[in-house]
């Protein structure tokens, strides 16, 4: 027995996105959650399930007594930062499908100034855990860790900066159509991309996600219940998590094949439990803390062969409306907002509802992924059939 | 200029990693080898994933390797690394077993700084050999020079 088609996202909500917002992380979380419940048409007193990231600073008890939730019978948290998002929703779906709760709220609220938003900058002088094998040599930030894999990927498969630019430019074009995106008014040319300052060669400024304040929430209920609510349901057709053999978080340089990340493992369970294949996917939201995660994820989730992810981005392959797989249609982490990938889930729901600002015509299936390079997760959302 | 980087983060040596750092202080690049089945592993960890043995031996490597990948970090960085930016960080694959990799830096000679090699000249696959550089009073870090 799987959870296939048994639950749905019935409501989504979000705050404004901006470089800096005056509200606290807790106030933003409450705002996004109440907006999501209102979107679904569900009273806060009905909520009995809660799930967020281990990195989320707002504990369940505080959120529950602010938002006025009822008696909560299931709560949980998912680890690994950007790898968590789809796992948060997927675990809530499992809890709803197994009767541990009936209405689950899921969320992420994040301020760039908060202590957890730049963990690398709080490095103490003595490092324990797996980072003691990289940071003493100046491999400090997430961008450095992914840049190391990117250089190797470019070397093995002939990917170029032009391919990475394809990712950044597609997201920016989509953000320019999305009034909620922080980069809505800022266009980008290929020349601007190529002239941008280095952050960690071979990655430049525009290969990085934004730094944003914002919160996003989603409400998970049974598919049956969702049919009677305010919005067309985004059915959770399949869900996967992945932690592949001998993976080391972020600095995944020590297994036989470091370019094969957790996405490959997540994809196995996702497609195994689905009635669909990558060819059925109309639109995708792929976690993009860094541009190279898109080609790596396209390969991991089976949209192309090994090493073909870069070429997949050519000729506007990721762009709305005519690309072979319109991807990150809200602008995502690189051009809408960086909310640890939770805004990608909201955009996946909008595509299924038909309300995206870059709506793929007749979209019935949307893949949403969380971060590659860390233990990860993914959701396959479909329209109700 | 001294190659030492003031206030750079250093490893918190523990019971698992102590023999590695004892090795670098003696000019040896050691990796773990499972005492039960002989499988080598790095970074150090308590259990052999191939046979679940906790018995460990340490084996000195030749210190010969090739560059597997490299990056050039630019600001914003930890304050300790700002004075030497941009510098390089490399991952090397050891000659004894290319699946054994280590993070390090390519430097011009054993006493040089981590920004002493022109990054434009670094290539994946080039041969390197280990050198040992004190970093603070207790830790000796392995770094790499062209072979
Ligand atoms: Zn063994």
Q: How many CB pairs under 8 A join A and B?
A: 115
- Banded model confidence at residue B5, pLDDT cuts 50, 70, 90: confident
- Banded model confidence at residue A118, pLDDT cuts 50, 70, 90: low
Ligand 1 centroid vs A192 CA: distance in angstroms? Answer: 52
**Is A301 tagged catalytic?**
no
- Banded model confidence at residue A116, pLDDT cuts 50, 70, 90: low
User: Does the beta-carbon distance from A144 to B105 stay under 8 Å?
Assistant: no
Query: CA nearest A353: which of A186, A206, A258, A234?
Result: A234
User: Does the beta-carbon distance from B43 to A133 stay under 8 Å?
Assistant: yes
- Banded model confidence at residue A359, pLDDT cuts 50, 70, 90: very high
Q: Which domains does chain A have, with CATH numbers?
A: 7-113+214-383 (3.40.47.10)
* Mean pLDDT of all residues in A341-360: 98
pLDDT at B3: 78
* Mean pLDDT of all residues in A121-139: 87
Whether residue B66 has pLDDT greater than 80 = yes
Average pLDDT score over chain A:
96
Whether residue A68 has pLDDT greater than 80 = yes
Q: What is the ipTM of this complex?
A: 0.98
pLDDT digits (tens, 9 = 90+) for A188-203: 999 999 999 999 999 9
Q: Which domains does chain B have, with CATH numbers?
A: 12-60 (no CATH), 62-147 (2.40.50)
- Asked if B131 reaches chain A (Cβ–Cβ under 8 Å), the answer is no
pLDDT digits (tens, 9 = 90+) for B89-108: 999 999 999 999 999 999 99
Please give the distance of CA A87 from its chain centroid, rounded to a whole number.
Answer: 10
| Higher per-residue pLDDT: B136 or B72 | B72
- Asked if B105 reaches chain A (Cβ–Cβ under 8 Å), the answer is yes
- Asked if B19 reaches chain A (Cβ–Cβ under 8 Å), the answer is no
pLDDT digits (tens, 9 = 90+) for B123-137: 999 999 999 999 988
Count CA atoms closer than 13 A to A263's CA, side-chain side: 27
pLDDT at B56: 98
User: Does the beta-carbon distance from A144 to B143 stay under 8 Å?
Assistant: no
Residues of A in contact with B89 (CB under 8 A): 137-139, 144, 148
Ligand 1 centroid vs B55 CA: distance in angstroms? Answer: 8
Q: Which of B72, B104, B119 sits opposite A137 (nearest CB)?
A: B104
Task: Give the containing element (helix H, strand E) for A219.
Answer: strand A214-222
pLDDT at A385: 81
pLDDT digits (tens, 9 = 90+) for A153-162: 999 999 999 9
Residues of A in contact with B72 (CB under 8 A): 198, 200-201
Residues of B in contact with A248 (CB under 8 A): 43
For residue B119, give how far its alpha carbon lies from the nearest alpha carbon of chain A (Å): 10
Q: What is the DSSP string of B63-119?
A: -EEEEEEEEEE-SS--GGGGGG-S--EEEEEETTEEEEEEEE-B-SSTT--TT-S-G
Residues of A in contact with B141 (CB under 8 A): 136-137
CB A220 within 8 A of CB A7: yes
């Amino acid at each position: 027995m799987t959870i296939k088609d048994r639950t749905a996202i019935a409501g989504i909500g979000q705050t404004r996105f901006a470089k800096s917002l005056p509200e606290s992380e807790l106030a933003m979380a409450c705002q996004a959650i109440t907006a999501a419940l209102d979107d679904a048409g569900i009273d806060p007193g009905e909520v009995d399930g809660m799930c967020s990231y281990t990195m989320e600073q707002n504990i369940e008890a505080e959120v529950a007594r602010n938002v006025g939730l009822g008696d909560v019978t299931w709560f949980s948290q998912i680890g690994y930062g950007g790898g968590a998002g789809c796992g948060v929703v997927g675990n809530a779906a499992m809890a709803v499908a197994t009767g541990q709760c009936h209405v689950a709220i899921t969320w992420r609220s994040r301020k760039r100034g908060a202590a957890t938003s730049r963990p690398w900058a709080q490095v103490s002088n003595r490092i324990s855990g797996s980072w003691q094998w990289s940071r003493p040599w100046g491999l400090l930030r997430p961008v450095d860790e992914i840049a190391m894999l990117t250089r190797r990927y470019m070397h093995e498969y002939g990917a170029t900066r032009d391919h990475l630019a394809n990712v950044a430019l597609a997201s920016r074009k989509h953000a320019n159509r999305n009034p909620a995106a922080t980069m809505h008014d800022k266009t980008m040319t290929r020349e601007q991309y190529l002239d941008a300052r280095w952050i960690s060669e071979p990655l430049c400024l525009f290969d990085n996600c934004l730094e944003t304040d914002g919160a996003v929430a989603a409400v998970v209920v049974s598919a049956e219940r969702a049919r009677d609510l305010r919005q067309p349901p985004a059915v959770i057709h399949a869900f996967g998590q992945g932690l592949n053999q001998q993976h080391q978080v972020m600095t995944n340089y020590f297994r036989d094949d470091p370019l094969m990340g957790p996405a490959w493992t997540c994809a196995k369970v996702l497609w195994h439990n689905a009635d669909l294949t990558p060819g059925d996917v109309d639109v995708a939201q792929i976690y993009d803390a860094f541009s190279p995660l898109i080609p790596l994820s396209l390969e991991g989730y089976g949209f192309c062969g090994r090493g073909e992810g870069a070429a997949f981005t050519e000729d506007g392959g990721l762009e709305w409306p005519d690309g072979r797989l319109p991807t990150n249609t809200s602008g995502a982490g690189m051009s809408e907002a960086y909310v640890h990938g939770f805004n990608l889930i909201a955009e996946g729901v909008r595509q299924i509802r038909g309300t995206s600002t870059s709506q793929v015509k007749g979209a019935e299936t949307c893949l949403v992924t969380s971060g590659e390079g860390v233990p990860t997760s993914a959701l396959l959302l479909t329209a109700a059939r | 200029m001294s190659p030492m980087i003031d206030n750079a983060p250093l490893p918190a040596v523990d019971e698992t990693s102590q023999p590695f750092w004892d090795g670098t202080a003696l000019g040896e690049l050691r990796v773990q080898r499972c005492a039960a089945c002989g499988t080598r592993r790095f970074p150090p960890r308590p259990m052999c994933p191939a046979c679940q043995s906790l018995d460990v031996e340490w084996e000195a490597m030749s210190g010969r390797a090739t560059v597997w990948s490299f990056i050039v970090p630019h600001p914003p960085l930890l304050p300790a690394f700002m004075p030497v930016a941009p510098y390089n960080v490399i991952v090397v694959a050891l000659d004894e077993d290319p699946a054994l990799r280590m993070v390090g830096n390519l430097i011009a000679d054993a006493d040089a700084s981590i920004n002493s090699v022109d990054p434009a000249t670094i290539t994946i696959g080039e041969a390197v050999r280990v050198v040992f550089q004190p970093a603070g009073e207790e830790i000796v870090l392995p770094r790499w020079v062209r072979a």
